[in-house]
Amino acid sequence: MRSFAIGVLSERTGVKIPTIRFYESIDLLPAPERTQTNRRTYDDDTVRRLRFIRHARELGFEVEAIRTLLDLAAHPERPCAEADVVARSHLADIDDRIARLTGLRAEVQAMLDQCTGGQVRECRVIEVLADHGECLSDRHRS
């Protein structure tokens, strides 16, 4: 089996070296083999695993969800129902974030729409930011 250094792994996967080391430290990647001079060495299985992790992170999956999905991927004979549950939970989180962002966008747009462009003492943006009661929604009030 071929082995290569961390820099090559980084180039092949598009994942930065500090991120690779982080994934090792939280056990998303297995501890690498070491040379006699204590340099990390990797193989093609690590490339595939790291590409999986990178893609999952790009899609917004949290580390624990990725950990679960990696475990499932290591057992191809298992039913995919658990992977479905993980993905559906992630989709629900995405929908929730979209709803919150849509509300925030409307709030900021309303501030801008009401701003007359005069002086700061009459600025609607400043007024709304200074007083949560001026907001359209209490969704983001603290």
Contact indicator for 72, 78 with CB cutoff of 8 Å = yes
For the chain, the farthest-separated pair of C-alpha atoms sits apart, in whole angstroms, at 70
Structural domain includes residue 88: no
Which residues, in sequence order, are bridge partners of residue 40? 34
26 in a structural domain: yes
Domain count, the chain: 2
pLDDT tens digits, 23-78: 999 999 999 988 889 898 999 999 999 999 999 999 999 999 999 999 999 999 99
CATH number of residue 32's parent domain: 1.10.1660.10
Helices (H), the chain: 6-13, 17-25, 44-58, 63-73, 81-114, 124-130
Record the pTM. Answer: 0.80
Q: Count of residues for the chain?
A: 142
pLDDT per position as a tens digit, 108-139: 898 888 887 788 877 888 888 888 777 776 65
Q: Are 73 and 136 within one domain? A: no
Containing domain of residue 39, as a range?
Answer: 1-78
Burial 72-94 (b: 16+ CB within 10 A, else e): beeeeeeeeeebeebeeebeeee
Say if residue 12 is in the same domain as residue 68: yes
pLDDT, position 1: 66
pLDDT of the residue at 142? 46
Q: Are residues 19 and 64 in the same domain?
A: yes
